[in-house]
Amino acid sequence: MEIENKKCSSKEHKESKAVSYCCNCKVYMCNKCENFHSNLLNNHKVFDIESYLKDAFTGFCNEQNHINELEYFCKTHNALCCAACIAKVKNKNNGKHSDCSIYKVEDIFNEKKNKFNENIKYLQQMSDNLKNSIINLKNLSEKMNQSKEELKIKIQTIFTKIRNELNSREDKLLSEVDNCYEKAFYKEDMMKEFERLPNKIKESLEKAKLFGKEYDDNDNNNKIYLINEGIKIENNIKDINTVNENIEKCKKLSQIKIKFSPDENGINDKLEKIKSFGKVMIDNLEPSFESSNIIKDDIEKQNLIIKWIKDKTNKQKMRFKLIFKMTEHGSEGKAFHQYCDNKGPNLILIKTTTNRIFGGFTPLDWENKAMSKYDESNQTFIFSLNLNKKYDMINPNKKAIQGFSEGYGPNFGDYDFGLHKNLKEGESYANESCNYLSKHNLDLTGGKGNNGSFKTEEFEVYQVQY
């Protein structure tokens, strides 16, 4: 039974919940029993169960069902314990420290006292330092938040400018649509004027007919009125002819098509660029090879590669994005091309089954076809990490990299080294056609035989981002 559910030891109060325990009497007591007990035996060791459950130190063991004084110290676990804890006979929770290094409390007291005072001084020092660290952390946090907000504002400013330009372009195109239709057809107010014309003519005709019945040639006013109405009728006839002419023009103009040419291919290209527009990155981190199975733990080799690339490219900041790992993405050449083609500057790392580590760097793209590429900037190089040596191109007009045929892995030079369609196999040659090493003795790859064949244990490709 859990100690918080203990009942009173008294037969009369056996259904009452225990609130305290007497270590001398070895009994649980309810509120009533505790009052009698305190009056009769006020020098007994009694502890409150609720306080005990709240981890208040009582001098008694915290182990379940161990209601004993803490008389011993276990050096093995650096913990106080009771007689039940060190009992040789193990039963339930008894004997937890039976096989440990046990001392009586009085025997360990001086040692712990000295350590206690030392720790107080150390804790005080740490506490003072902690206050300063927290202040510095708060200041740093404020600076980081300020930097974050400034960066967000910068991004929002750029995209607001883009949106404004897009809105302006949209308004201009919409206005051009209105202008084109007004030139080709008629304005809306002109159409409304045409719609009012029949009623206007009808009214004019009714007046003319009415006047014709009452007309008097001897009345000079009638003559003037007749002339005026005649002018109106002539104008109506002219308006009708104009409408008819315009209707004929509209029939012809309706054949004209006004189009919007969005240059869909261009738009799609621009949309793709917008999708990848901008980049948010941590700019103060050194290049990392944390995901590498080849040089993950060799900082010296990592720094050597970084130095070589910096010297060749004059780029001081760069990062390496792992885009292919043979043990994860597969050992077929087509997998290499699937992940690595047209990715720009890249680093190749190869580890053989004989523990040779070598590779190459090139700013050129890989392609899944037979081709030869030349590096006019002369940045491409190969290297051996076993020998800590870099080998530049002997002649920039020779092949920097090439595709031996479709589906093959990377190939530097004229097979200075290259991987087959099965990336677990490769070759390196030693002859005059090599573009990096002339007549080398296969120290680079550790290859064997006439064709310098080797077996690949791991092959990694990194996209180099400046």
Same domain, residue pair 310 and 456: yes
Q: What is the mean pLDDT of residues 108-118?
A: 84
Q: What is the mean pLDDT of residues 55-63?
A: 67
Same domain, residue pair 12 and 69: yes
Q: Which residues contact 373 (CB under 8 A, 6 or more apart)?
A: 364, 365, 399, 400, 401, 402
The fraction of the chain above a pLDDT of 70, given in percent, is 83
Same domain, residue pair 177 and 238: no
Q: What is the mean pLDDT of residues 369-378?
A: 88
> Between residues 359 and 69, which one has the greater pLDDT?
359
Q: Which residues contact 200 (CB under 8 A, 6 or more apart)?
A: 236
At 434, list the tokens.
């090599």
- The span from the CA of 466 to the CA of 460, in Å, is 19
> Between residues 34 and 273, which one has the greater pLDDT?
34
Same domain, residue pair 158 and 240: no
Q: What is the mean pLDDT of residues 425-432?
A: 81
Range of the domain at 46: 3-107
Residue 241 phi/psi, 5° resolution? -65, -40
Grade residue 116 by pLDDT with cuts at 50, 70 and 90. confident
428 is a domain residue: yes
Same domain, residue pair 147 and 32: no
Same domain, residue pair 373 and 391: yes
Same domain, residue pair 197 and 247: yes
Residue 435 phi/psi, 5° resolution? -100, -10
276 is a domain residue: no
pLDDT tens figures, 189-202 = 566 666 777 777 77
155 is a domain residue: yes
Grade residue 309 by pLDDT with cuts at 50, 70 and 90. very high
- pLDDT over 80 (residue 147): yes
- The span from the CA of 361 to the CA of 386, in Å, is 17
Question: Given this model, what pLDDT does residue 287 score?
Answer: 59
How many domains is the chain partitioned into structurally?
4
Question: Given this model, what pLDDT does residue 353 score?
Answer: 95
pLDDT tens figures, 166-178 = 899 889 888 888 8
Same domain, residue pair 378 and 328: yes
Grade residue 1 by pLDDT with cuts at 50, 70 and 90. very low
pLDDT tens figures, 254-272 = 666 777 777 766 777 777 7
Q: What is the mean pLDDT of residues 381-401?
A: 89
Helix, strand, coil % over all residues of the chain, rounded to 5: 40, 20, 40
